[in-house]
Structure 1
Amino acid sequence: MGDADTALAAVLAPGVSTGVFEPVSASGVWLCRLQPDLQEHLPLLCCSSNWLSAEHAPEVVTTLVQQDLRDQFVKRFDGSLEEARMKWPLGIAVGKLGVTTVEGRDPRLTLGSTEPHVNPNVRINEKTFNPGHRDESFVGFTMDVSKAHKRIKVRHEDQGLLMFPPLHASLLVALMCVLKVPMSWHKCHLKAQIDWIGLSFNFNYFFVQLPYAKIRKGTLFLDKVAATTRLTRVDLEKGIGLLLWISDVFLFLRPWLSSFYRALFHPPATLLSASRTQLQEILDCCDECLRVVRAPTLCNVSLGWKLLQVGRTLVNNKSQVLSLHSGSSRMCLRMHNPCSRIVQIDPGLQRLAASWSNTVRYSPMWRSMLPARFEEGSAAADAFATGSTVGIGGWLRSSASTE
């Protein structure tokens, strides 16, 4: 049948890899990475608390966890962290449990695996992406497998990373029933206009539209970025998620997302004043690249931080630090915190956010799903500026034109 992912069944049977302990092999479905990911491996952490959305709704969390236990999507681990490390010797991580509530839908559990450094350590030998509305044929049918992501078996070695405190629609439905695939029937639609992946698709007039509520949330986020110099990492991550949706319709805005990602992954450095004893302890807790792999006890430095500068000297390894000589009893250290709770917003990003906001607010919220028609012809354009006067003009002549 020409299926590129012929090894999928063999991978699903023993359990899928998370890509933390070894890269996920290329399936042939997506674009292969030309170069390996050289990002440093962050130490796996065990979070001691959950997100506030879970802490403030213990009854909801208890009900949802009990339901997942009954459905065998999760399994209770009766033991200490040390016993867990013995069971999964390659490593464990304890993430943050959260509750996501969306108007008109039942609440659902989410497991935050970014804080314990699981997500940042994932290595996939392909550039994976989900299809947008431009990538698929026009089919007005949606289907959802009930709790599909929870039905994927994870291999034993990786289970320790997931702990927490054009066929006709009727034929497809019949096929799913024959295969006994559990369906979320309330998410199945067969009509002229359907909502999918946060977009509204109209098959009478073949256009895709951003819902007003999503436009409003996006502009509120952009206005906030344009008016502030500091933002929480959580707010920026949520806002980037909104902008990904918006730029799926306003595709010309997609390249400018890089500035938002740069702010997310380049947090400001933290300055510390440390004694010689504290500096020595920090060095003892660092690897050769000066990344903290054990938490010091004499100063407020966390796992994953990296030492960048001692005094006025930039450092890259332990040998450079040990070779420094200073007559002062205390030294100023500059350290990089990759998971800083606060993200710095520079003036350039402020201006970009304001421009995005105006574009989204005053542009049409719909785009045609029909492919652009190619037509031969000739065109020219030019612009001028003299003093305070500017002008732009041009002409277009179709090959079918008689003039």
Structure 2
Amino acid sequence: MSKVRVGLLFGGRSGEHEVSINSARAIAKALSSGENQQKYELLPTYIQKDGRWLPQAVSQQVLDSGKPLPESASLADAPYFAADAATQVDVWFPVLHGPNGEDGTIQGLLKLMQVPFVGSGVLGSALGMDKIAMKMAFAQAGLPQVKYVAVTRSQIWSNPCVFPKVCDQIEAELGYPCFVKPANLGSSVGISKVRSRSELETALDNAASYDRRIIVEAGVTARELECAVLGNDEPKASTIGEISFQSDFYDYETKYTEGVADLAIPAPVPDAIASQIQACAIKAFLAVDAAGLARVDFFYIEATGEILINEINTMPGFTATSMYPMLWGHSGVPFPELVDRLVQLALERHEPARDSRSE
């Protein structure tokens, strides 16, 4: 049998460009080792920070070095779209984090190509990226979550009479502390924890510089637990993991600086709590129409036993030390097997639905 040609798509235009390269290196290694080496042929495609898709030879060099290619080093004759990759790939593996990667935009392009791809489709990716739309889907599914207020950039910047009213509403409905977040950025970029009116005003102005949609969430004192989900229409949940840290919240520096955050797998929680989180993770996965993989994050208020869903991440970090593969590793699915399953799930989801009336 001929090998399945996997188009590994990485890099991208978001602030998580370097994280994407690290994830892609780990996946490339998994696809090229053990039984996977006999099943798959790797076709890397690197998307530069300027949006240019670079040829496979250059893309492989970036994979090998683990370092982004400077925009000044862009090939003058390289097209913005790599036609060579598009015609050769059997299944795409888009390892792109953040905007223009896991927000439905690249998924729409891949869908137009009519080639299978790993992960959620347009709807699941878009809902998983936009924190406001995500929370609306969670509420419709009956998943408990923290109180929040949605704000637009125009309310902050365009009308000086409206802005004080928005702050009044946030103080009345949420109080302090609260968290101000751009609705469509990953990796805690642009997020602020605020404890006063002046901090709130500054944080809203800052968040509006990143996104036209902003969400403000009530702060809670809780443990932060995570669950990995794998599958399509009948997904499975992993064991539960816990993240602990000394900083105010799980910001970008805490997330990506080695040794700053502690991971506990499995999380030391009662079995009933773990089972409840697993059930909620699957419910959240289905609520946004996710596919393939997702990591679902929760708040656990130990004093009351309350579990609140925080968010879903439809393309989580995928290095060997990232929470998603580590959770599945502790659940009996080693990294190379996990990557293999994701490719097979993509192929499975692309198959035309059988007409049950013909059976």
TM-score norm. by structure 1 comes to 0.20
TM-score norm. by structure 2 comes to 0.22
Structure with higher helix content: 2
Structure with the larger RCO, 1 or 2 (CA within 8 Å, 6+ apart) = 2
Computing the radius of gyration over CA atoms, which structure comes out larger, 1 or 2?
1
